[in-house]
Copies of this chain bind each other. A is one copy, B any other.
Amino acid sequence: MTTAQRPTLEAVARLAGVSRATVSRVVNGSTTVAQPIQEAVRRAVQELGYVPNLAARSLVTQRTDSVALVMPEEATRVFSDDQVFPGIIRGVSQELEAADKQLVLMLAGSPAGHERVERYTTGRHVDGVLFASLHGEDPLPGMLARLGIPVVCAGRPLGSAEVPYVDVDNVGGVTRAVRHLIGSGRHRIATIAGPQDMVAGIERLTGYREAMAAAGLPVRESFGDFTRESGAAAMRHLLAEHPDLDAVFAASDLMAHAALRTLREAGRRVPEDVAVVGFDDIETAAYTEPPLTTIRQPIVELGRAMTRQLLRMAAGEDIEQALVLPTELIVRESA
């Protein structure tokens, strides 16, 4: 296997009859190079198929032109069936592509994986780090921020760390959903809450409680972890505890989907007997039986927004500590 030697700046310089420095200037778009020379250099680059060596460039510029996206590995499991995981990646990827930077994806599930992420990111091998879907109080974002490494989180980070984040308006969305239920005559509204070690789970429960309190209605709570399985168990639990319920707000569409099925198995009609509202607006939501009323969150836009914030930080700009994207109630047939 002939490892075809890549052409270097040196080679281009020789072919174009100029110095390395000049070639470098042309490649990096410096304006201080005479037109005819620019063209000669470009021709040589073209002819040789020259591509800059990023390692060499990083060594001197102290930039890597790459950004890490860190996701807990469970995320790919928990969200394996919805669009959150691919959606964030797509948004991040779009913005990075526009900035001509690479996306280094790190799934950090195991403790070993987490340690690896820590080594890699603190080692300044990337220009910035995006965190998605954090569980509990991960100290890593705060640590990186203190090291002066640009960091942005998806969702308000738990704990005291002052790390910039982008989130969706969980509380506002849930409030609208609960009002919608009340407006259609429901008063015995239960919730299947999400995991309380994730900010999305916490805030959606908060939204439910606040909306119910505002209407002077009593709460009926049960908990899941965003998955279908947990949603089914929670729904069964609710039916046993509060057989009189006439509506359910589930903190994820997957749990709502499982609730639909569990209700049917229990002989309850949706929406006649029990109305159901989910959260996310995954594609499946339009295909459930009956189609699911839910709260849409702009997930691709979330990925894009957090990336833009990060790039601005990396460029030395000051950015808003928090950015909240709007959610929207999508009314279908289940409520």
User: Within 8 Å of chain B (Cβ to Cβ): is A240?
Assistant: no
Would A104 and B107 be within 8 Å (CB), given that A64-B55, A86-B80 are in contact?
no
Q: What residues on B are CB-neighbors of A122 within 8 Å?
A: 49, 51
B-binding segment of A19-27, A280-288, A324-332: A280-288
Please tell me if the beta carbons of A103 and B102 are within 8 angstroms of each other in the complex: no
Check B66 against A2 for contact (C-beta < 8 Å): no
- In the bound complex, residues from chain B placing their C-beta under 8 Å from that of A34 are none
A148: which B residues are within 8 A, CB to CB?
1-4
- Cβ–Cβ contact B86 & A284, under 8 A: no
Chain B residues within 8 Å of A112, by CB? 97
What is the CA–CA distance of A16 and B53 in the complex, to the nearest angstrom? 33
Residues in B neighbouring A124, C-beta threshold 8 A: 6, 51
Docked complex Cα distance between A186 and B4 (Å): 58
* Contact assessment for B106 and A147 in the assembled complex, using a CB-CB cutoff below 8 Å: no
Contact call B283/A258, Cβ cutoff below 8 A: no
**A76-B86, A82-B81, A287-B228 as given contacts; A59 in contact with B55, CB under 8 Å:** yes
Within 8 A of B (CB), among A67-113: 73, 76-77, 79-83, 85-87, 89-90, 93-94, 97, 100, 102-107, 112-113
